[in-house]
Amino acid sequence: MANTGRVAGKATLITGAGAGIGRATADLFAREGAKVVIFDINEQKLEALKQELWQTGAEIEMVVGDVSKDADVRRAVQAAVERWGRLDILVANAGIIPLLDVTEATGDDFDAVMAVDGRGMFLSCKHAIEAMLRVGEGGSIVCLSSISGLAGQKRQSTYGPAKYVASGITQHLAIEWADRGIRVNAVAPGTIRTERVQQLPLEPGGPEYLAAIEKMHPMGRIGEPSEVAKAILFLASDDASFITGTILPVDGGYMAQ
């Protein structure tokens, strides 16, 4: 895809930027001219990404932190405000993806996923919206939901409910802030070839699970992080100026069945 500058000059915060969809999104936004704060708990991966993005000529800030911690999210938002005077775009991507059925999962497992995928998304949206309101010129938020946040799946007893939180936050906040020019949308990826998915063949039952899930996608394959990043770019950009409250499946036809 040729770079179009669709987010040129936009101050952007991407959570969970160190790997997978977040990393692909940070790379694409930087190449599209955005000013990007990359935020992740993994300092080593974040530093490597920062070095790569600098080579594109993009303006980059790096914040190491945990999206489940209020002070860390505040620091990430403030990094954009202090550097560029504003925050225009949030990509609320950070998440963890355990594969557990309800007999395997514990209450602590549930709480751990909700802390990152649920509370972390709430805090990211909260502090981003507050920053956008201070400037008063609107903004755009793209949350990462999942096909597991739209329909039931096996072995998603903790992750699936957390992604329903992502879908719900998206629609409620879209209505809450539409009259202030803040758009809130989500993408709902199918199975994507992230680092986590690439580890599945090494886990008990993983190869069989991956083979089965590939067949469940009508296109006959799983997706690539860059394909999700392109959908995020569209929703974040002014090309989607009359779109809010939408949850866009990026799933090779999975949800159309």
Tell me the catalytic residues.
159
Cα distances (Å, whole numbers) of residue 129 to 56, 84, 92, 229: 28, 16, 12, 22
